[in-house]
Structure 1
Amino acid sequence: MFLFLVSSCSFFYENKDHTKKQNNNLNKEIINNFSKAISKNADNFLFYLERGKAKHAYGDYIGAIKDFNDSLRLNPNSKAIFNRANSKYAYGDYNGAIKDYEKFISRNIFQDQVFYSIANSQFILLEYEKAIENYSKSIKYDQDEENAYLNRGNAKFKIGDYIGSIKDYEKSLEINAKSYVALNNMGVSKFKLKKYRNALQDFKKSLKLNPNNYNTFYNKSLTHFELKEFKKACIDLKKSNKLGKEIFKSEYSKICF
């Protein structure tokens, strides 16, 4: 088992300067304020849009979708269609999210985040080649988006393009040298190419950045096994099982335990 993470979409409504509890309190207040405003003027599409954003941030995705529907009912040109797509994505309706993102793009409002979000949905739906195409479009509009390179690398890995995936992980690392996920995944691609020593170097770098990542210890363990370095392999496998509460069992477990 290897670690491949799809980075989550960035949503319009975020408050990074507050704790989660403070965020929830703030979002509740925003929801209440806009509910009062709607009770006095139910025909203002912006009120539903803003309340929907707050509901999304609060985790009420169904409520958010309903508000975005009302915003679009009152103003079909409302940007709520993008927010509704984000809420559908968060709720797990990936096909519905893709349809909304594509509607947003059809209005000639081109944003790198839209293509990135479509690609994430397609990745989850196992439509890797389509995802690669949309990650590429996202990168065209924002060449400094590390996650677009990271996830395009993941999609390339899924279709067996290990060399292409390594190039994308390297681009992601050029933007953010501290991405332990990119280092881990690059190591996995090198493992697939049987470049075991190079893979080990990537796993070691990844663990320096995140020493509690049991996935990477597991990957490093399997790499040592391939090199017949059984003592080192067992040390890493035991660390992986300890950190991951023994969730990994491999064909080599009987050698170590």
Structure 2
Amino acid sequence: MNATSVERGTALRGFALTAALLSGLMLAGCQTSGPAGEFNNIDKAQGSSENISSLSAVIQRNPQDPEGYNVRGSAYGRGGQYQAALKDFNQAIQLNPNFYQAYSNRALIQRFLGNQEAALADYNRSIQINGNYDAAYIGRGNLYRKAGRTQDAFNDFQKAIQLDTTDARAYHNRGLIYQSQGQHKFAIEDFSTAISLAPDAAEPYNGRGLSYLATGDEDNAFSDFNMAIKLDGQNAEAWANQALIYERRGDKAKAAKAYREAVRLNPSYQPAKDGLARVS
């Protein structure tokens, strides 16, 4: 996961480790990303130049159809072209002021661009138009969680789940909140549901591994960290967490190797740097 922001939780209350290991593992948990994480389960080919060209051709044939702009804006977003995406969502909303999906999509782009107030306004508008739109609750919940409004975030993820969402993010993010509160049984259940909905996503495995470790289930934790690495070899947190298991088992050579990989992937990731110093 190419993390663009680091969020620290208190995921491991009551977990009997040395102070140094506890500090490192707490920092290794509850991380989220920017665009890469949001689009984790979306085919990046949908944002390719070839696909953009075909979508542009559709818009040229029917320039008054707001759906065309919404679809192309989503493709631009997947491809990291955020200003182009913003322009398309603006056009979609101009053509249809009640296009709740476009408001939610534009909110996501505003988040990535750092325009948090504009993002919140768009999520609110999307929900105002359609109070049953799960994606808007999930997006707004992420916005709240990153702003430290944990209860508001929990309420939004809960609402999406009550709407029978099939979006793994609702369960994953609610699991992160449970984890931060030390409610690891509930966290493990949510991460497991997220995995069932998005089996190719590394983050729920990494999150569940931390909660397994917090409850003393080292074997399942190790298995989850390994799976997270298998699914996303660029996940520095998962490498650091795998290294911690090796360290706890006294295998300093393998621990050092995994910590080095975590540092290589993210040179500023302090838990990996601290871990490497301990085992070197």
Q: Deviations over 1:178-227 (max 9, x none)?
A: 6543232122123344x1xx1342222431463445433322333454x4
Paired with 1:201 and 1:77, the residues of 2 have a C-alpha distance of: 47
Task: Select which of 261, 266, 279 maps to 1:242.
Answer: 261
Larger relative contact order (C-alpha < 8 A, sep ≥ 6)? Answer: 2
- By how many angstroms is 1:20 displaced? 6.3
Q: Which amino acid aligns with 1:221?
A: A
Distance 1:27 1:127, change over 3 A: same
Cα distance, 1:143 vs structure 2: 4.9
Mapped to 2, the partners of 1:180 and 1:33 lie a distance apart of 35
2:52 matches 1:30: no
- In structure 1, the gaps of 5 or more residues are 39-43
What's the counterpart of residue 76 of structure 1? 97
Q: Within 5 Å, which residues of 2 pair with 1:9-24?
A: 16=43, 19=45, 23-24=48-49
Contact 1:217–1:236 (CA<8 Å) still a contact in 2? no
CA separation of 1:9/1:89 partners in 2, compared to 1, >3 Å: closer, same or farther? farther
Q: Does 2:206 match 1:184?
A: yes
CA distance in 2, matches of 1:10, 1:169: 16
| 2:201 is aligned with 1:171 | no
Distance 1:10 1:200, change over 3 A: closer
Match of 1:86 in 2: 108
Matched, 1:2 2:28: yes
Secondary structure of residue in 1 paired with 2:273 = coil
Say whether the 8 Å CA contact 2:111–2:119 is kept in structure 1: yes
TM-score by length of structure 2 reads: 0.68
Letter of the 2:150 partner, please give it: Y
Deviation at 1:149, TM superposition (A): 1.0
Q: 1:139 aligns with which of 152, 161, 176?
A: 161
Provide the secondary structure at the position in 2 that maps to 1:249.
helix
Runs of 5+ unmatched residues, structure 2:
1-26
SS at match of 2:132: coil
**TM-score, with normalisation over the residues of structure 1?**
0.73
Larger Rg: 1
Contact 1:178–1:209 under 8 Å retained in 2: no
Aligned length: 238
CA distance in structure 2 between the partners assigned to 1:10 and 1:177 by the alignment: 11
Cα distance change on mapping 1:175 and 1:89 into 2, 3 Å: same
User: In the alignment, which residue of structure 1 is the partner of 2:18?
Assistant: none
Opposite residue 105 of structure 2, the aligned amino acid is N
2:72 is the alignment partner of 1:54: yes
What fraction of aligned residue pairs are identical, expressed as a percent?
A: 19
Deviations 1:40-92 (A, max 9, x none): xxxx3x25x52354244224433443443344345432343333223323433
Deviating more after overlay: 216-225 vs 135-144: 216-225
How many angstroms apart in 2 are the aligned matches of 1:129 and 1:149?
15
Q: CA deviation at 1:27?
A: 1.1
Distance 1:72 1:178 in 2: 33
